[in-house]
Amino acid sequence: MANMLIFLALVSHSNVLSIEPARIPPLAIGDSFWVTIKISDCIPIYGYSGAIYYDPTVLEYRGIKRGPFMRRFQSTALWIAPQSVGPGYVADFGEALYNPSRAAFGSGVLDTIKFKVIGSGSSPLQLNLKINDTLKFDWDLSTRGGSTVEPLAFVNGWYGSQSLEIRPTFNITPGVANAQELPSATWFTPVSRYVVVWQDRRNGYYDIYGQQVNTDGTLYNSNYVICDSTGDQLEPAIAYNPTGGLFTYALVVWADYRRGLDSADIYGRLLYRGSPVSAADFPIARYPNCQINPQIASLGGKYLVVWEDIPVDTTNLYFSYICGQLLNYNGTVVGDTFMISGNYDGYYYNYSPTIAASDSAFFVVWNRKSVTSGASQVFGRVIDTLGNLGSERTIVSGYSNFAFSASCAYSNTDNNFLVIWTGAGQTGNNTFEYLTKIKGIIYSKSGYPISSPFLIYEKNNNADSKFLDSIIQSAEVHFDGANYLVVWHEKYGPGIDSLRGCFVSPTGNVGDPFGLIGAPYSQAFPSGTKGSGNNSILVWQDFRNGTDYDIWGYLGPPIGIEETTSPKSEIGNPKLEVYPNPFREKMIIRYTIQDAGYKIQDMGLKIYDITGRLVKSFNLSTRYSLLAPPIEWDGTDDSGIPVESGVYFAKFGSETVKVLFLK
């Protein structure tokens, strides 16, 4: 029997770059349209330089307009129009603060770009943009990287239509207008249902909404409001705390802009039996600084909420903190806010915190970026339920390391943490190898490394290609009761997105990567949680309708194949061979039964995809043979429709062979 797939991911969002609208429907030849480049929840920056790529047989560049984001922080910010324009690309445009008294941060529009439709067909709209957090600036985009590498999460755009296979999934926000984004989920034990929360723009501003989901994927009642205060409410996270007997709660936290566009606070609200309590939301961290990107975990009778804390005064340009606040299970604040990371003489940004809990303490992990060297590193710290801080641990260090999107999870079978991160390595002076990779390390629950860093997944990019062959984003990890599950968002060339994953054992053994969700356009920012028993849910923001983002979910079958095999199949001693493997056009399948007393048609020859869904079955009319005629599979399903490239399983009786189909 295959391993049961358990989806668990807590997403940390910083520096999200997106094209809006995410899709432009097909237009008549000669028509024009505008798209905007938006940055969301960025750490303090002083400038950016960018490029956008498209299909020159379909679209033509017609102009660019400067956005308001950087000028919000300095009216004299320097804007540079595109310095390089050619068929299929617009490059070397950007903006920089001039002798700044403060850095830019938060969210806004960078630029607006106009295109004209000149041919039939569809085209990706793919970004290649870097941001600078130093006062020196490099406009040259001839090589990716330049003076700094940043943890940018790209949500690219699309003109026209796209059709991909859709696996069994369900819409959590059906029929809702505008965008629903950045979901987070927890299992609510008293009602035996999942609770999913997200940021929601159905009313013109971002609010926080929620939904209960049954274990069969049906929705319990309808979407409900958690907070719709003035201004935007963004980046929700949720955790359930079992303390309290009959009165057990989950706590939802978010970044709240009710004070103004550049003044975010951390707010929270309790849920009882999966729905908001009658009491209003309440502030958890409300200071002159800007608090963003909250994360939450529970242990015993306590919650620990952590976040990025960005000073807004003009004397401290170069730093941000990671701060924390303890709360009781019923939402009452315990003690004062405390600093988890330091600014180290004002030349480091601390950002993107993530948190997990063992049976005795919390483990907070975050990224730290050096202003002087540009290196991004990973640090961690154990914190007990009284707020006592353990020693700060350096997980990834060194000027040649560029480690982003750290995440951590706890194994209650081996009593250890797995910390993962994504990034690229430096091969020379300001030259970076674009080998997008995920790495990990095992830490004890007391905060000490017990393994060396090891590779989890790696994807090589062609540094000369305008389109990055693969970009790994939003890598997250949680424990499913037996293994760690690492989940990430991967881009396969122009306009093709996918959610992928792999299992890692508690001792650090890494399994093969597999596909999770595939659908048209973009699926991004996966999150999820383990339920009771083997139940689990994965949620993400999904643009498959081509109009706006919805929240979708997946209560999936096991990875691989789970099928009852008859005693006759076992006794028949089947044999199965496939070649070539991998294959592109066709695959030859040879099958035999060693015991001629059993029928080949009793065995069945079937092809399954990575989710366990049957895609192709073959009619085997031969009664028995040690020399049965071979079967050819041309990569189509039972309806004759070509399947997507990826991992499949050929199954004959009790024999299973994994095959890789390439296009």
Return the CA Rg of the chain: 25
pLDDT at 402: 72
pLDDT digits (tens, 9 = 90+) for 114-167: 999 999 988 888 887 776 644 333 333 333 333 344 455 677 788 887 665 555
Over range 241-246, report the average pLDDT: 86
Strands (E) in 75-150, as ranges, are: 78-80, 84-86, 89-96, 104-117, 123-132
Q: Which domains does the chain have, with CATH numbers?
A: 16-159 (2.60.40.680), 567-661 (2.60.40.1930)
Stretch (H or E) spanning 568: helix 567-571
Residue 170 binned pLDDT confidence (cut-offs 50, 70, 90):
very high
pLDDT of residue 135: 37
What pLDDT shows up at residue 652?
A: 79
Element containing residue 612 per DSSP (H, E):
none
Tens digit of each residue's pLDDT (9 = 90 or more) over 300-356: 999 999 999 887 654 555 578 899 999 999 999 999 999 999 755 556 788 889 999
pLDDT value at residue 113: 96
- The predicted-structure confidence for 20-55, as pLDDT tens digits, reads as follows 888 888 999 999 999 999 988 776 777 888 888 888
pLDDT at residue 15 in the model: 67
pLDDT at 114: 96
Mean pLDDT of the chain: 80
Condensed to tens digits (0 to 9), the pLDDT of residues 591-606 reads 776 544 444 444 578 8
Hey, which bits of 531-619 come out as E strands? 536-542, 550-554, 574-579, 587-593, 605-609, 614-618
CB contact at 8 A, 35 and 147: no
CB 145 within 8 A of CB 430: yes
User: Is residue 558 predicted with pLDDT exceeding 70?
Assistant: no
What's the confidence (pLDDT) of residue 85?
92
For residues 315 and 101, give the distance between their C-alpha atoms in angstroms, rounded to a whole number: 8
pLDDT beyond 70 at 624: no
- Give the model's confidence band at 399: pLDDT under 50 very low, under 70 low, under 90 confident, else very high: very low
Residue written as token pair 């976040």: 307
Mean pLDDT over 549-561 rounds to 68
Q: What percent of the chain has pLDDT over 70?
A: 78
Q: What is the pLDDT of residue 6?
A: 25
> What percent of the chain is predicted at pLDDT more than 90?
36
User: What pLDDT does residue 637 have?
Assistant: 86
- Residue 8 confidence class, pLDDT cut points 50, 70, 90: very low
Q: How confident is the model at residue 2 (pLDDT cuts 50, 70, 90)?
A: very low
Among the listed ranges 409-423, 506-520, 569-583, which one has the minimum average pLDDT value? Answer: 569-583
Q: What is the pLDDT of residue 141?
A: 33
Tell me how far apart the alpha carbons of residues 65 and 88 are, in angstroms, rounded to a whole number.
19
Does pLDDT of 61 surpass 80? yes
End-to-end CA distance of the chain: 30
Non-local (6+) Cβ contacts of 641 within 8 A are none
The length of the chain, given as a count of residues: 663
What is the distance between the alpha carbons of residues 38 and 16, in angstroms, rounded to a whole number?
A: 8
Q: Which residue has the higher pLDDT, 541 or 639?
A: 541
Q: Report the pLDDT averaged over residues 201-225.
A: 94
- Output the pTM of the full model: 0.70
The residue that leads in pLDDT, 574 or 165, is 574
Please tell me the least confidently modeled range out of 82-86, 107-111, 582-586. 582-586
